[in-house]
Structure 1
Amino acid sequence: MKKTVLRFGLYALITGFIFFGLPFFLGMGVDYDYGELIGYTSIVLSLLFVFFGIKYYRDRENNGKVTFARALGIGMFIALFSAIGVAIMDFVYTTQINPDFVADYSEYYLNKLQQSGISAEEYKTKSTEFKQQMEAYGSPSFMAFMMFGTVIIIGFIISLVSGLILQRK
Structure 2
Amino acid sequence: MWRTILKFGLIAGLVVGGFEILTFTAFSGLPPLKYGMVIGYTTMLIALSAVFVGIKRHRDVDRGGVIGFWRALGVGLGVSFIAGIFYVVAWEIVQAITHMDFASSYAQAIIASEKANGASAEAIAKLTAELDAFKVQYADPMFRLPMTFVEIFPVGVLVSLVSAGLLCNPRILPARRG
Same fold by TM-score, threshold 0.5 exceeded?
yes
Alpha-carbon offset, residue 140 of structure 1: 5.1
1:11 aligns with 2:11: yes
CA contact (8 A) 1:90 1:143 kept: no
Instruction: Report the counterpart of residue 155 of structure 2 in structure 1.
Output: 154
Instruction: Give TM-score, length-normalised by structure 1.
Output: 0.89
Instruction: Report the counterpart of residue 173 of structure 2 in structure 1.
Output: none
Q: Per-residue displacement from partner, 1:38-75 (whole Å, max 9, x unpaired)?
A: 22122222111101100111112211100001000000
Instruction: Report the counterpart of residue 60 of structure 1 in structure 2.
Output: 61
Q: Percent identity?
A: 30
Instruction: Report the counterpart of residue 73 of structure 1 in structure 2.
Output: 74
Instruction: Report the counterpart of residue 104 of structure 1 in structure 2.
Output: 105
Q: Distance in 2 between matches of 1:42 and 1:152?
A: 13
The structure that is helix-richer by fraction is: 1
Alpha-carbon offset, residue 123 of structure 1: 1.5
Q: Distance in 2 between matches of 1:93 and 1:141?
A: 18
CA 1:142/1:132 → structure 2, altered by over 3 Å: closer, same or farther? same
Structure 2 residue identity aligned to 1:46: A
Instruction: Report the counterpart of residue 31 of structure 2 in structure 1.
Output: 31
Structure 1 residue identity aligned to 2:132: K
Q: RMSD in angstroms over aligned alpha carbons?
A: 1.9
Alpha-carbon offset, residue 118 of structure 1: 1.1
Instruction: Give TM-score, length-normalised by structure 2.
Output: 0.85
Q: Which runs of 5+ in 2 are unaligned?
A: 171-178
